[in-house]
Chains A and B, each alone.
Chain A
Amino acid sequence: MTWQPTASIEQLKKRSQWLKDLRAFFYARSVMEVDTPILSSAATPDLHLRSLKTSVQVPGIKDKQPYFLHTSPEYPMKRLLCAGSGDIFYLGKVFRDGDLSARHQVEFTLLEWYRLGFDLTEIMAETATLIQLVIGPKPTQMLSYEQAFRQYAGVSSIHVATAEECRQCLARHQIPEVIGVDKDDKVLWEQLILTEVIEPLLGQNAITYLFHYPARDAALAEISKENPQVALRFEVFVEGMELANGYQELQDSDGYRDRFEASLSDRIAHGAEPVPVDNYLLDALKEKGLPECSGVALGVDRLFMLAAKHKNIESVIPFGLGNA
């Protein structure tokens, strides 16, 4: 590795302009920029997100105190929403450990924003406008999770399909043998169809929205009132790459507590270290409540990869982890 930047100076000039454009997009809509803390005494309990940990010498306390680097600004942003901030956005670094590849860096730039009174359809429309601002005009395609399985994988109704049917689907699509997954683990076989068969086909010459994820993948999204099997959650794909993830936000404070607890038991069941839950968020939700809103988190470096037609994330950021 050399001292030189991983992106060209030319590319970094474009990056600077795009960052400015993204901020201008929100300022023009009276959405306030918030730079919430990167350090937090709590961490996300999500089993599949790994928070980096550090320790802080707090004056007056003998032992260094553990703090986590945020994986997204979601919790403090929701506390701001509870406190009456109105529409807000965050544009800055987040950290997710253990992943380094052409599309991932451990440290990456995330854009997250919340819009009061927006439902899923409205926030999806705004997301498309924002994406097109950077990558240019592209048609949008709306696809429910169930439709995507039918159209791209030939599974007629994924919510009731068996593990065996999912495995047959993978075999039909010549997906290489999978090692370490239980024969009956339907959720994982279903996930493999999604990542190995469907996702690479999404967003070809379009901005594709996949919405109505199964309720178990709701994370902190509201469950649909019309169909309790599905969550009001969407992801955006362009050229087979996941670009953004949005929810119509769960409001019920007990719901947050329940989902945090479920995630924590999941961690324990899988032998992952438990993490402290954000009680400040739970207090805010209980005392003031979250206004009706929708929010999106968007991978900014990936957006710039698409705009620049680069296949490697390092080509659009000043330095990768390899020579950071």
Chain B
Amino acid sequence: MATVSTSEFKNGLKFLMDGQPCTIVDNQLVQPGKGQAFNRVKFRNLITGRVLENTFKSGEKVEAADVMDTELQYLYSDGDFWHFMDPATFEQYQAGEAAVADVQKWLIEQDICTVTLWNGDPISVLPPKQVILEVTETDPGLKGDTAGTGGKPATLSTGAVVQVPLFIQIGEKVICNTQTGEYVSRAK
């Protein structure tokens, strides 16, 4: 496996920490006028998403992680795995539950997602920023309330629950922001 020295540290560098792939989000070199130099490093664990901080003695080496982001089409889920395909090569990938845990409810068949691969396996999935989903369940709203002054929960076809304006009815399609988990507008 390739190693990377602290002198090559920069934001976005992928490396292994305790066997898990991480990406550097901040790297600060501390070079006192005398004595040993250190790197103060903030990095995100790509599996848990947690941001951690370590101080590395300059000259230390870490193992590079084979991590890459790729655009894949979501095909279907068989309950255990979520299947994706590279639309150019038709190569298929299966993601386990951990990789899609946070985003399952935004996965729509045929949508193109950004999938992070580690050693060729999906470890995290980023759905499109906005998705269109059908409302499958919500309380009937008040007739004539089109100003959207209030809100009510609505369950969407993927199981996601969002706050929608009172005028939204079952069967309507709505646009949602997958990053904030919020209703954006009615789909035309």
Contact = CB atoms under 8 A, between A and B. Distances in A.
Given A192-B38, A195-B38, A179 B32 contact: no
A104 B54 CA distance: 21
Query: What band does the interface of chain A fall in when counting residues whose beta carbon is under 8 Å from B?
Result: 20 to 34
Given A188-B36, A191-B36, A99 B56 contact: no
A229 B33 CA distance: 20
Q: Pick from A48, A100, A219 the residue with the most CB of B within 10 Å.
A: A48
Contacts of B36: 48, 188, 191
B56 A180 contact: yes
A48 B34 contact: yes
Nearest to A270: B59
Contacts of B28: 101
Interface stretch (A86-94, A139-147, A170-178, A306-314): A170-178
A235 interface: yes
B55 A101 contact: no
B3 interface: no
Q: Pick from B7, B31, B34, B52 the residue with the most CB of A within 10 Å.
A: B34
Q: Pick from B32, B35, B56, B57 the residue with the most CB of A within 10 Å.
A: B35
B60 A48 contact: no
B31 A177 contact: no
B186 interface: no
B31 A180 contact: no
Interface in A160-195: 175-181, 187-188, 191-192, 194-195
Given A98-B7, A191-B36, A217-B34, A177 B55 contact: yes
A126 interface: no
B61 to A, nearest CB: 9
Interface string B133-170: 00000000000000000000000000000000000000
Interface string B62-98: 0000000000000000000000000000000000000
Contact of B60 (A180, A217, A235): A180
Interface residues of B, number: 21
A217 B28 CA distance: 24
Contact of B35 (A104, A178, A179, A217): A217
B47 interface: no
Given A101-B28, A192-B38, A195-B38, A179 B57 contact: yes
Contact of A191 (B35, B53, B56): B35
Contacts of A175: 55
B187 interface: no
A73 to B, nearest CB: 15
A180 B34 contact: no
Contacts of B31: 48, 98-99, 104
B55 A242 contact: no
B152 to A, nearest CB: 44
A6 interface: no
Given A99-B31, A177-B53, 6 more contacts: A48-B34, A100-B29, A101-B28, A176-B55, A178-B56, A181-B57
Interface of A: 46, 48, 98-101, 104, 175-181, 187-188, 191-192, 194-196, 217, 219, 235, 242, 245
Interface of B: 7, 28-38, 40, 52-57, 59-60
15 contacts: A48-B35, A48-B36, A48-B37, A98-B31, A101-B28, A101-B29, A177-B54, A178-B56, A178-B57, A179-B54, A179-B57, A181-B57, A187-B35, A195-B38, A217-B35
The 3 closest A-B pairs by CB, nearest first: A180-B57, A180-B60, A176-B53
